[in-house]
Structure 1
């Protein structure tokens, strides 16, 4: 894993990011996007204004995965981060997701977020659910039949949440 670096995504990364994105969307098992999603919409999702994206690469040559970090809500919900992750199908199962997940938590803390929330974790995505639990997230809500899985039909989705700092030390609401 020492040959894997995580760094901010750059415009030059988008071709490889788009390839990973399309592979996940085609599977229809983890993301709400459809195969009709345009390249422009994908670009905006990963590299648009206000989005901070990061990539994991092998020896700075092969892109293995990526994540994006944004506020979960605007205004009074801006202190909670939201992140989305994709790992190349050819790099799954070797720890890239865990590296990206840990990096996202560390980066969210560095950026001053006080908590982190995943809004729509598909219940059948057991590898992701296990990973997020190992990294300190809890399922705080179930959205019944909220995801239309390509093979299984309508399945539940989870809301997962983690405090990044002790709430006793959070700034007051007026700050």
Structure 2
């Protein structure tokens, strides 16, 4: 597996991953009716942010976007998001993408990384982030409407560098 910069030709493989994840409505608080064009604008970060893909040959396994969490007085904290194709989950793709984002954020001089809305019931993501040094610093009860579990919490997770 190789992690490299996203190029426009990757979108034809990245969009189906994003579409599957947002339509499932289980792990990301994105509008499930987003179009490919809307998702492109949301997912592909402009500089100084960054979007990457994890690939095996020509096949995209997953993608990550990273950048500044908030502008102005909050600009010293990074954020990132990760999506992995269903058939590639559990194979270390998410971990590799998370590590890539952390390395990038440190190299850019950020003081830490914050995840604003990690669905509490997304155990694989929560456990991955905790293994990589993040802590749950707060949970907004009932802030996410899960399609089968009803209202569940959204974690704010943080790692200081």
Give the alignment's TM-score, normalised by structure 2: 0.96
1:143 aligns with 2:136: no
Q: Secondary structure at the match of 1:37?
A: coil
The Cα of 1:48 is off from its aligned counterpart by: 4.6
Match of 1:70 in 2: 67
Q: How many residues align?
A: 160
- RMSD in angstroms over aligned alpha carbons? 1.0
Equivalent residue number for residue 81 of structure 2: 84
Using the alignment, how far apart are the partners of 1:118 and 1:32 within structure 2? 12
What secondary structure is seen at the aligned counterpart in 2 of 1:49? coil
* Aligned equivalent of 1:57, options 55, 58, 75: 55
- Structure 1 portions without partners, runs of 5+: 165-175
Q: Which runs of 5+ in 2 are unaligned?
A: none
1:93, distance to aligned residue in structure 2 (A): 0.5
- Secondary structure of the 2:125 match is helix
Contact 2:78 2:105 in 1 (8 A): yes
Over 2 Å off, 4+ runs = 48-51
Distance 2:152 2:86 in 1: 22
